[in-house]
Amino acid sequence: MESAQRDGQGFKKRDEDFLLQDEHSPFWAIEKGAVLQEARCFNDTQLSTRKCQQVITKLLYLYNQGERFTATEATEVFFSVTKLFHATDGSLRRLLYLIIKEISPSSDEVIIVTSSLMKDMNSKIDLYRANSIRVLCSITDSGLLGQIERFLKQAVVDKSPIVSSSALVSGLRLMKMNPEIVRRWSSEVQEAANSDDPIVQFHAITLLHQIKQNDKLAVSKLVLQCIRSNIRSPLATCSVIRYISEILQDGNGADTDIYHGFLESCLRNKSEMVVFEAAKSIATLPDVDSRLLHSSMMVLQLLLSSPKPILRFGAVRALNSIAIHGPATVAVCNVELESLVADTNRAISTLAVTTLLRTGGESSVDRLMQQISSLFAGLQVRLCKILYFFILL
């Protein structure tokens, strides 16, 4: 009884500490009207960098919380923040780029910041160049896009990885608005796909796939080219694995042996995400070679014993999906799955139970039901203790 009272007092103490933390939060009881009043500091002759940063942060918080700004309020904020282009502080400039992108000014208002953004695109500071590209491509229209196309093509093959990556990401965005212009960058994007930087390579291959996605033959050629080249990026490798899976699922794999050979090599990759993606893809392929399928199941079986919860969760989730159509294939992992029934992560244990129910026999299901009963019994005891503590409150 005394221990329960102490625990109850502990709950109260933690709740009080939580409330005190909230009271000191800069966003506690924030109001749109008050923040708009504070935004007048952007017009001050002597700018306070710290004050401007705080106000922009509050405005971004309100936007991300779904606060609605009228057209007049948004216009006033936009015109005010554009005056901050004269500031030289790097952190303030980054916030300025972010809020302009969030406000999404109208076509008439975009003209006001176009010259400033284009000036930053030619800056010697890579961070300014990268951010200005992303912002300009987010708020631009088709008419302005033609004027900056030359700058974007040059940025794709820029020596700075951050600039090149920003141009490629902007290309992915522009594919939804004006795909014809982005398709004219194919040679530059192809050059970027051979970059030594992993992120640039990943974005370049992704953009090439978007450009060619309606041409199945072109996609096959792209995948074969990636297989024969040296892919340094684990993310790019995972993308190629997914493209191969799509090709083989559609039955368009004329080079099936090459694809299978690449997937098998990925099972020995240094990156855990590549190994998992390859194993999952192989296990879901139609008419896959039994030797290759066995290798993928062995990999998933090893991942079930990983000390990392994310790998255990990924493996058991993949096996749960495979067990719907191929329970006999997953049955080889039943021993490892049974050990996960008592896993501390409830998502993992739940998936392990549902997978075993699909793959186990009569005797294993009876044993599984006993394990589940003991687990639920322990869970009920813990819930009763928690409820008792709350009653004391």
Residue 224 in any domain: the answer is: no
Q: Kind and range of the H or E element at 254?
A: none
Question: Is 280 within a domain?
Answer: no
Domain range spanning residue 363? 321-393
| Range in 3-7, 15-19, 307-311, 386-390 with the lowest mean pLDDT | 386-390
Report how far apart the first and last C-alpha atoms of the chain are (Å, whole number).
14
Asked whether residue 200 is assigned to any structural domain, the reply reads no
Helices of type H across 157-270: 161-174, 179-183, 186-192, 198-212, 216-228, 234-249, 256-266
Q: Is residue 159 very low, low, confident or very high in pLDDT (cuts 50, 70, 90)?
A: very high
Residue 130 lies in a domain: no
Tell me the per-residue pLDDT of 342-379, one tens digit each, with 9 for 90 and over.
Answer: 788 888 888 888 888 787 666 666 666 666 665 555 54
Q: Are the C-beta atoms of 82 and 112 separated by less than 8 Å?
A: yes
Residue 103 binned pLDDT confidence (cut-offs 50, 70, 90)? confident
Rounded mean pLDDT, 48-66: 88
Whether residue 262 contacts residue 243, with contact meaning beta carbons closer than 8 Å, is answered with no
- Asked if the model's pLDDT at residue 203 lies above 90, the reply is yes
Residue 388 has pLDDT above 50, yes or no: no
Higher pLDDT pick, 65 / 308: 308
How high is the pLDDT of residue 372?
A: 64
In a domain, 173, yes or no: no
Say what the pLDDT of residue 362 is. Answer: 60
pLDDT of residue 269: 92
**369 is a domain residue:** yes
Number of domains comprising the chain: 1
Residue that wins the pLDDT comparison between 213 and 22: 213
C-alpha 71/C-alpha 77 separation (Å) is: 10
Contacting residues for 152 by C-beta, under 8 A, at least 6 apart:
133, 137, 167, 170, 171, 185
In this structure, is residue 332 part of a structural domain? Answer: yes
Residue 296 phi, psi (nearest 5): -65, -40
* 285 vs 325: CA distance, rounded Å: 12
Does residue 235 have a pLDDT over 90? Answer: yes
Hey, what amino acid is at 186? S
**Residue 334, token pair as written in the block:** 């039943």
Considering only residues 258 and 353, tell me which one the structure prediction assigns the higher pLDDT.
Answer: 258
Q: For residue 2, is pLDDT > 80?
A: no
Average pLDDT over residues 14-38: 66
Average the pLDDT over 248-267 and give the result: 84
Model confidence pTM above 0.85: no
Q: Are 355 and 321 in contact (CB under 8 A)?
A: no
Q: What's the pLDDT at 279?
A: 93
Q: Do 316 and 322 form a contact (C-beta atoms < 8 A)?
A: no
More confident residue, 175 or 326: 175
On average, the pLDDT of the chain sits at 82
Label residues 311-320 b or e (16+ Cβ within 10 Å = b). Answer: bbbbbbebbb
Percent of the chain residues topping a pLDDT of 70: 83
Over residues 13-25, the mean pLDDT reads 50
What pLDDT sits at residue 24? 57
Residue 77, pLDDT > 60, answer yes
Least confident of 252-256, 269-273, 379-383: 379-383
Q: pLDDT band for 20, please (50, 70, 90 cuts).
A: very low
What is the average per-residue pLDDT within 18-47?
74
* Residue (of 170, 178, 118) closest to 143 by Cα position: 178
Whole-number pLDDT of residue 44: 82
